[in-house]
Amino acid sequence: MLKTQPLHSSLSIVRLVTAFIAGASTALSFAPYEIWAIFPLALSFALWQSHTLTAKQSLYYWLSFGFGYFAIGISWVHVSIDTFGGMPIFVSIILMALLALYLAIYPAITGYLLNKLSRTAKHTLNPYLTYLGLFPALWVLTEWLRGWVLTGFPWIWAGYSQTLGPLSEFASFIGALGLSFVVALVAGSLMLLTQKRVFPVLIILPILALSAWAAPQLNPISASGKTVKVALVQGNIPQSMKWEPDALWPTMLKYMDLTREQFDDASSVDIVIWPEAAIPAPEAMVEDFLLNANQVANMNNTAIITGIISHQQKDFYNSLIVLGNHHQKQQQSADYIVGGTNEFKKHHLLPIGEFVPLGDLLRPIAPFFNLPMSSFQRGDYTQPNLIALGYHVAPAICYEIAFPEQVRASVTNETDMLLTVSNDAWFGTSNGPLQHMEIAQMRAIEMGKPLLRGTNNGITAVVDPHGRITDAIPQFETGVLVTNVALYQGETWFRKIGQLPLLILCGLLMLFGVRNVLRK
């Protein structure tokens, strides 16, 4: 029989507040702070404070932890709702709180199941299996679900807290979600330390230290000796002007003028990158401009990859197209034609921003549901690489870079580079664009490919396959980043196996907890 819970184990307001604070502290593990040790410490504190609670109490405790985790960690979402959504401040705060509360459900499920599966009336699961197996498995499975349910929101996974940490290159084997498992494993080890079980810390921490040293040595990628000269154009177009009809031609001419400056050099660039929706109009509407840019690129032995709105029948797509030379640096004529095939259509659309669920019901309610170009259709999940001067480029538009399996599906044996373009002007000077950059860095590590990131107002940067930013230009400035990008050969283990082995492992570990309940 279970004994009556002692007074100190009851769920109090103080305990809920400290849970919220612990969750909120995890924001310091992500960009721009990058204090990678905070996340496992916050998790271990939450495990220690909640381990005497009942399953129901654990649910509320971890809900409070999750609410702090997301209310502070993604507070930048409020900027787009308040500044560009046309909502009164109190309404935008309520919407932000509801989003954070929804996301907090996933840590709450972890806390509830950890308690429910590890303790029954007749049997308590071995604490080593509870904190070193069941807890990391549940944390990873709920993070994975968060990245999938309702189109998914895989932002600030625990693994991203290690992007600039000592374990970052381990992601080339196990991915960001695998690093989440490691973070939870460390937290479980520290929890056992509070119970005077020193053995896990003495074993796990040295193994992780050895892994941090060995991962770069065992990574099968290597420099190919080839380079490609790229120019990433940051137009810095104010979001308030971007979709104004009168600003269309000034915007396009600004990008063209900034690009022409790069052609004065005797060794002109190979590939020019314009950001997401750099041309804020349907392709057919600006055909004359595109054909002119196409010829300019051809004459200068260059390809221009630009964001644009493509149009097929009655459907609009957030797309990337390639102007100029597709197959070789020097060609007699350019390859681009309106409605051509060397094009990428965004698949993973952002709810509200790019499509509105139940739009007929929601659009009349508030301007927030009528943001410009919020009626896109989605492209195919897997699409061919873009080809520019014979280089194969695996693209992801904006939010798509947060989905590792989708990026992985786009990378082939011929892929030379990853490309992500974005317009983060929606989020002002908040941490959102910095976290977005951090996520892109993780994709470069996972895939073992250099990554180009072109944005409207920053961060525009080049990342090497080890996740390091090699070149960048400041946010909120008009400029062009010109650099030689080293290409790599080889295939990372994560590129080969993806997330499936990790998810199978977590499923098997969870079965131990289920077996514990069935023994009831």
Give me the active site residues, please.
276, 346, 398
Q: How many CB atoms lie within 10 A of CB 482?
A: 18
Q: How many angstroms separate the CA atoms of 289 and 321, rounded? A: 14
The tokens of 476 are what?
């909120």
Nearest to 129 by CA among 517, 519, 520, 509: 509
Please say whether the beta carbons of 110 and 135 come within 8 A.
yes
Nearest to 299 by CA among 345, 260, 245: 260
Please say whether the beta carbons of 440 and 401 come within 8 A.
yes
Pairing of strands 343-345, 469-473: unpaired
Q: Name the residue with tokens 């230009």.
A: 473
Please say whether the beta carbons of 140 and 177 come within 8 A.
yes
Nearest to 52 by CA among 155, 171, 191, 203: 191
Contacts of 165 (CB under 8 A, 6+ apart): 34, 36, 37
Distances in Å between the Cα of 324 and the Cα atoms of 328, 332, 455 are 10, 11, 21
Contacts of 181 (CB under 8 A, 6+ apart): 136, 137, 139, 140, 159, 174, 502, 506
User: Phi/psi at 175 (nearest 5 deg)?
Assistant: 75, 175
Sheet of 460-463: strand order equals 386-388, 391-397, 417-422, 451-455, 460-463, 469-473
Q: How many angstroms separate the CA atoms of 140 and 159, rounded? A: 10
Nearest to 271 by CA among 308, 299, 239, 297: 297
Nearest to 483 by CA among 181, 217, 230, 156: 230
Pairing of strands 271-273, 303-312: parallel
Q: How many angstroms separate the CA atoms of 188 and 201, rounded? A: 9
User: Phi/psi at 236 (nearest 5 deg)?
Assistant: 55, 50
Query: What's the one-letter identity of residue 24?
Result: A
Q: How many angstroms separate the CA atoms of 115 and 319, rounded? A: 46
